[in-house]
Structure 1
Amino acid sequence: MAHSKNSVLKYLPATAWLAGYNASKFKSDLLSALIVIAMLVPQGMAYAMLAGLPPITGLYASILPMIVYALFGSSPTLSIGPVAIISMMTFATLTPFYAAGSEAYIQAACLLAVMVGIISFLLGLFKFGFLIQLISHPVIHSFIIASALLIALGQIKFLLNIPLQSNNIPELLISFYHYANQTHWGTLLFGLASILFLIYFPKLLGLSHIQQRFRFAAFLVKAVPLILVVGSIILVSLFQLDSVGIKTVGEIPSGFPPLSLPQWNWPLVLQLLPGASMIAMISFVESLSIAQATALQQRSALNSNQELIALGLSNLSAGLSSAFPVTGSLSRTVVNADAGAKTPMAGILSSCFIVVVSLFFTGFFQNLPLAILAATIIVSIWKLVDFKAFLETWHYSKADGIAMWITFFGVIFIDISTGLILGVISTFLLMLWRISRPHMVVIGLVEGTQHFRNQQRYPVKTVDSILSLRIDESLNFLNANSFKDFFINAVSEKKDVKSVVINCSGVSRIDYSALEMLEELDAELNKQNIQLHLSEVKGPVMDKLIHSRLFERLHGRIHLTHYQAMQALAPEILSTT
């Protein structure tokens, strides 16, 4: 019975927080849901537009996925729904096959969500949560910055009311050159005014004397996008601005999201599979990173494999409810946590409010200018464009800096998916390059201690008859030759050497190629009456050594510590310590 209960808790975390749910938690969750909904409605519609889909699908993507995540997710505050980067990746994946906004495009978006859901669910079910480690943080950071820049620039077409291609910067510049003379100045003025409002009105409300005088100023700061949406709709309706060229969202169907299984078209599935895999990976990385940040703040447990399962089921529900791929939203999650959300019930309540909007208030949004949604995207996404990260990373690690720039230029000059693939490939190539050139040094005894350090960094004691070497990397086929070259050069420089001791404190693993290399070195040294010794060999490495020919044929010894090796081979060096 206990095992059955633990299994339910493991795969359905909602049973844990529902058991202790009370009125106090409900009040906190309800307030948080009201605040989040003020962001979610305009953001959802804007991100649907960014994905090349009707604005209503952004609301659809905020209903079932949030309910499903609340039941299966392990984070109490993560807000699941449409986000800018995943919307942009959806657009980049689908536009090569269908015209944005067409019926076939909408069906393909639903199929894409289902595929992302299946991939994520299977990865979580078979405990592949560790795959997040395959993408380095600098690459992810660069990808987010480049994508944010591309997304923000891509919204210029709605501010200028001209057709622009925005898969990459060259396309955008070429199409801008062709259509710039068709700019609608009224739309541009309306859009710029909206951007200024979104930037400066929250700062005004954030002033201390305003906060003290108006009780709801803090709430209004979070609701600024919704205020702008409502205000712009009223302006368009009163002054009929749509008649002078201000484009609006137009008629939005009302009702609950249509529930249906997208047609499983195998040729299309194979075409969408690379994009779906990339979206699943980025969706997981982004969602887990956000969940980890809030989990650390709230001291709550987090299971990466369960997060994959929850994310997979959320995307499946999105595909079944006429929506597109979803993931965790940083801005809404932060607002959700700051507003005092206690449990995932806040997400369920938010989805209930979205249902109400979808059923009764879609008609109100038909006069919403597209420029407003573009301004909302630009302001929310531009905060992510921070080039200081490139300089900081470059100063810290040239290899990581190179991977960041490769990712960045790949995204903005080719496309989002290709940029990420190039970033991941460059990370692996640079990692292999680093492993193949490990840190290798000659070490000596730090006087007055039992510690051995790099003789080029510390004043150390050595003896002519002993050569002590250290490699700070696992030994494998990638670096075996590099170590062999270093070893031969070091021995050649020391003419009176009688014993060579390899300090293995930095070696966590050793493969067959490395064992063969050490065996060859031992045989060559023996011909010159030089003994090879090993010291500070770790357990996993010793397990390999015991079953190797090197262990049987080693002409020297394996010492527990490097200090003990020196005690046995050159006690005179220790006489003054």
Structure 2
Amino acid sequence: MRLTNTLSGYQRRWLMSDITAGLVVAALITPQAMAYALLAGMPPQAGLYAALLPVLAYALLGSSPILAVGPVAVIALMTFEALHNVATPGSAEYLSMASALALLTGLWLLLFYLIDLGRWTTFISHSVISAFTSATAILIVVSQLKYITGIPLPGGSSLWQTATHLSNDYPQWQPEAVAIALAALLLLYSWQWLIPKITCRLPLWLSSLLNKAGPLAAVAMGIAVVQAVTPTIATIGELPAGLPVLALPALTIDQWQTLLPAAAVIALIGYLSSLSVAEALAPLPDSTSAANAEPSTPPRLRTNQELLALGIANLAAAINQAFPVAGGFGRSVVNRAAGARTQLASIITVVLVALVCLFASRLFMDLPYAVLAVIIVSAVLPLISFSDARRAWHFQKSDGLVWLTTFTAVLAAGAVDGILLGMVLSLVLYLRRSSEPHIAEIGRVGDSDHFRNVKRHQVTTSTQVLMIRIDENLYFANGQYLEDVIRQRLQSGGHIRHVVLVGSAINHIDFSGFETLQHLLRELRKQHIQLHLAEVKGPVMDQLGKTNLLEELAPGQVFFTASEALRTLADC
């Protein structure tokens, strides 16, 4: 375990950029953290706690200089879904279980680190992640409608139940809550459009700070309205002053077991989403204008190191009375735009958030929940996108089906069950595709040594030699299919005396694949046809060399190339 990015090879000229980025992200994360705690069913201070030790842990161990770790909307919603049925949101038991969920998430991530899961970055398909993100964003928006309208809704209501409650109880909407929410939403979007035009002539650090201060402005507006008008709407009240007391959650064995599956899914989603953000925002080499200076190379993103860093960050969240954390896309974009060069920017953010916890807790006591809800909605609306579904469907119907199924399942059954269904469907469709791989009869192209599919190219073949190429590994799911294809081709007529299995695309053969070759060899011999192999890769030959197949194959041969096989056998 070693420190990365922050302390190693730091250059003094980066300091001002990191300080600026730390200030900007602190201004953004303070209201966001309280809002995401609300989404997770936690008190607002838990969101601030999630922006302390977890952020510091990642800053010291992470391999991305840009990734901003902390409370994230999607993970907050998954936390709520995992806990609201087993404990009352906001209760002491619920807070303890949220910390336990963070602890288990961290342990899962460390287990993934130990088994080197960082190399398996495509464990969940892009279609599943895209559909999950869009559907979860919709669920997040719907979950905040109770604060925007002022209508209490049952905890954990489905999309349909929430829509039904809102439509039936619309006369009970609180006009003050709706008005403040609309004002906050208008302020946020007008801030994004107007402020950059006003601040373009200011110094870069000040311009970045003001451009990203929209959530803080919405918070200030909401507090000012409550203090001036005193409307009858819910506010967060006074936050506990001071830093959290460090402690491990105490639960029963049954409670720990209940949380294990949800923690595993949260760990996977948190890791994959964080990794995708870190890769998308990876900095380019720093080319400097100084004549004698050399450009600096940004740190290389190490996928397995990210598992370690995120795992320790979640363990820190557990002892910090918080909930699971991950890398946030919005904050990471802001971090990079504000000029962050290393994770020192995150350490500065931690210091500023700690000061808020120590000295500014009373400032937020009149903050309306409706404003926090709007901050959440504005943060997740850009995540809703259907373009991936359209592109996946046009490219390959099965990928489009995975997207649609995952999206529908998340909306109907919740985030955890929905993404599990999407993962299972992806696996089933993959096994189906690989169980019926592309198998081609091939022939020689002209007088060359190149061989191509007889259905696609003008090639030369032999009436006595059938050359078959399987474009997939040979394993338990597709062995029978290979035998069926060869059997059908032999039944179509001709005087085939030799079958050559070209293994140029076979990288692995399992035991079932070996048995397929044995069975094929015996079946062909009954028909007085000899089986041969060609272009078998070294690792596959090593596997076959552990068996007696090569002895059984004689007088069949193992040819170095398909060209050699056809030249030799066509003359027999």
The TM tier, using the shorter chain, reads over 0.9
**Aligned match of 1:562:** 562
**Aligned match of 1:315:** 314
Q: How big is the shift at 1:139? A: 0.9
The 8 Å contact of residues 464 and 494 in structure 1, kept in 2 or not, is answered as no
Given the alignment, which residue of 284, 299, 313 partners 2:271?
A: 284
Deviations 1:515-569 (A, max 9, x none): 2222222223233332222111111111122222321121321111111112212
Question: Which one-letter code corresponds to 2:316 in the other structure?
Answer: S
SS in 1 for 2:281: helix
Question: Which one-letter code corresponds to 1:557 in the other structure?
Answer: Q
Deviations 1:90-129 (A, max 9, x none): 1001100111111211121112112212222233234333
Aligned equivalents of 2:93, 2:167: Cα separation in 1: 31
Aligned equivalents of 1:316, 1:568: Cα separation in 2: 65
**Aligned match of 1:176:** 166
Aligned equivalents of 1:221, 1:457: Cα separation in 2: 58
Deviations 1:207-235 (A, max 9, x none): 4x863489754442222111221222223
Matches within 5 A, 1:356-367: 356-367=355-366
Q: How big is the shift at 1:303? A: 2.3
**Aligned match of 2:73:** 84
The 8 Å contact of residues 23 and 209 in structure 2, kept in 1 or not, is answered as no
Question: Which one-letter code corresponds to 1:289 in the other structure?
Answer: S
**Aligned match of 1:405:** 404
Deviations 1:217-275 (A, max 9, x none): 444222211122122222322232xxx32322212111112222211421211111111
Aligned equivalents of 1:332, 1:469: Cα separation in 2: 54
SS in 2 for 1:323: coil
- Tell whether 2:211 aligns with 1:221: yes
**Aligned match of 1:504:** 503
SS in 1 for 2:250: coil
Gaps of 5+ in 2: 286-297
**Aligned match of 2:243:** 256
Question: Which one-letter code corresponds to 2:457 in the other structure?
Answer: Y
Given the alignment, which residue of 106, 114, 135 partners 1:117?
A: 106
- Tell whether 2:262 aligns with 1:272: no
**Aligned match of 1:193:** 183
The 8 Å contact of residues 97 and 251 in structure 2, kept in 1 or not, is answered as no
Matches within 5 A, 1:467-486: 467-486=466-485
SS in 2 for 1:18: coil
The 8 Å contact of residues 504 and 536 in structure 2, kept in 1 or not, is answered as yes
Aligned equivalents of 1:355, 1:451: Cα separation in 2: 68
Q: How big is the shift at 1:64? A: 0.8
Gaps of 5+ in 1: 1-10, 573-577
**Aligned match of 2:325:** 326
The 8 Å contact of residues 283 and 326 in structure 1, kept in 2 or not, is answered as yes
Q: How big is the shift at 1:140? A: 1.3
Distance change in 2, residues 1:167/1:423 (3 Å): farther
Aligned equivalents of 1:287, 1:531: Cα separation in 2: 54
Aligned equivalents of 2:257, 2:264: Cα separation in 1: 11
Aligned equivalents of 1:250, 1:104: Cα separation in 2: 21
**Aligned match of 1:533:** 532
**Aligned match of 1:373:** 372
Question: Which one-letter code corresponds to 2:541 in the other structure?
Answer: M
Aligned equivalents of 2:105, 2:199: Cα separation in 1: 45
- Comparing 369-378 and 164-173, the one that deviates more: 164-173
Question: Which one-letter code corresponds to 2:59 in the other structure?
Answer: A
Question: Which one-letter code corresponds to 1:549 in the other structure?
Answer: N
- Comparing 107-116 and 120-129, the one that deviates more: 120-129
Question: Cα RMSD over matched residues?
Answer: 2.0
Question: Which one-letter code corresponds to 1:288 in the other structure?
Answer: L
The normalised TM-score by structure 1 is 0.92
**Aligned match of 1:27:** 16
Given the alignment, which residue of 113, 130, 140 partners 2:129?
A: 140
Distance change in 2, residues 1:79/1:540 (3 Å): same
Aligned equivalents of 1:510, 1:478: Cα separation in 2: 11
Deviations 1:439-483 (A, max 9, x none): 111112222532111122222222322211111000111101111
Deviations 1:139-162 (A, max 9, x none): 111111111111112111111011
Q: How big is the shift at 1:189? A: 2.2
Distance change in 2, residues 1:185/1:571 (3 Å): farther
SS in 1 for 2:443: strand
Distance change in 2, residues 1:494/1:196 (3 Å): farther
Calculate percent identity across the aligned residue pairs.
38
The normalised TM-score by structure 2 is 0.93
- Comparing 503-512 and 178-187, the one that deviates more: 178-187
Q: How big is the shift at 1:358? A: 0.8
Q: How many residues align?
A: 557
Q: How big is the shift at 1:132? A: 4.2
**Aligned match of 1:108:** 97
Question: Which one-letter code corresponds to 1:226 in the other structure?
Answer: L
Q: How big is the shift at 1:83? A: 0.3
Question: Which one-letter code corresponds to 2:303 in the other structure?
Answer: S
Aligned equivalents of 1:245, 1:227: Cα separation in 2: 22
The 8 Å contact of residues 74 and 307 in structure 1, kept in 2 or not, is answered as yes
Which structure is higher in helix share? 1
Given the alignment, which residue of 25, 40, 43 partners 2:29?
A: 40
Aligned equivalents of 1:416, 1:504: Cα separation in 2: 42
The 8 Å contact of residues 66 and 79 in structure 1, kept in 2 or not, is answered as yes
Matches within 5 A, 1:375-394: 375-394=374-393
